[in-house]
Structure 1
Amino acid sequence: MTATPTEIRLQNEGRTLLLRYDHAEYALSAEYLRVYSPSAEVRGHGKPVLQLNKQDVTITALAPVGHYALKIAFSDGHDSGLYDWAYLHRLATERETLWQDYLARAAAHYQKENL
């Protein structure tokens, strides 16, 4: 059974998405959700495309998709990719690990750029 949120709410003027489940509550930043978008643009058809400079992005709209996913629109115009319940739950429960991985990849990119 996929963990479906019991509540989904925007906070901090669209900077944070609150996901409440029966067992826990998670606050995910718009930046985090944007850099981990499940869209083809980000996932790169098998070769992920690193998303940079998204620290100021906000969530401008949320739309349920059937009973299985959430569509999130961002202030930078990105609105493709569906966050299904399983993926959102993974982003919530593995946030620290995934965020540290993103920060390491971004740092490596900037280090490579400055060589």
Structure 2
Amino acid sequence: MSKTPEPVALTVHQASKVLEIGFADGQTFRIPFELMRVCSPSAEVQGHGPGQEVLQTGKRGVSISGVAPIGNYGIQPTFDDGHESGIFTWVYLYELGSKQAELWAQYEARLQAAGVDRDAPMPPKAGSACASH
């Protein structure tokens, strides 16, 4: 994209669990919180390089409890599952909105390949002191 998309409206819809974002080019997207959470641009989700992505599960009911502006280029949502490290740039939100069907299909394919259900709880993090044995 040659020009950064400029947001003109941003609404967090708690009941329907979608982020509605309108851009200056006339595009408006309704991005499900779940999609935002499983596609978070954070290192916790994306890893630190190719092949290090962490498949997110159990996020269907996730909500956004807060949204902080990050400069003039994006937002940092706080999800009610404690995740708050993803910075969503306007470019990334535009991509999430415009490629929702493709991203959902990729997510579902990753779930199937891993043999897990979308609603399965996340496994405990390796080395976590809170992991139950």
TM-score, length-normalised on structure 1?
A: 0.90
Structure 1 residue corresponding to 2:29, chosen from 7, 26, 40: 26
Identity score, percent = 37
Deviation string, structure 1 residues 27-65 (Cα, Å, up to 9, x no partner): 011100000001000011112111111111111111111
Q: Contact (CA 8 Å) 1:14, 1:59: kept in 2 or not?
A: no
The secondary structure found in structure 1 opposite 2:48 is helix
Deviation of the 1:87 alpha carbon: 0.9
Deviation of the 1:5 alpha carbon: 1.4
Partner of 2:11: 9
Deviation string, structure 1 residues 70-109 (Cα, Å, up to 9, x no partner): 0011010000021111111111111110111001111221
Which residues in structure 2 correspond to 1:10-89 (within 5 Å)?
10-13=12-15, 15-22=17-24, 23-46=26-49, 47-89=52-94
2:6, 2:111 → 1: CA distance?
Answer: 31
Q: Contact (CA 8 Å) 1:14, 1:60: kept in 2 or not?
A: no
Deviates more, 1:6-15 or 1:98-107: 6-15
Q: Contact (CA 8 Å) 1:14, 1:58: kept in 2 or not?
A: no
List runs of 5+ in structure 1 lacking aligned partners: none
Backbone CA RMSD of aligned residues: 1.3
Q: Contact (CA 8 Å) 1:59, 1:72: kept in 2 or not?
A: yes
Runs of 4+ in 1 over 4 A off after TM superposition: none
2:16, 2:73 → 1: CA distance?
Answer: 22
TM-score, length-normalised on structure 2?
A: 0.79
Q: Contact (CA 8 Å) 2:14, 2:63: kept in 1 or not?
A: no
Deviates more, 1:11-20 or 1:71-80: 11-20
Deviation of the 1:12 alpha carbon: 3.5
Larger Rg: 2
1:98 is the counterpart of 2:103: yes
Higher relative helix content? 1
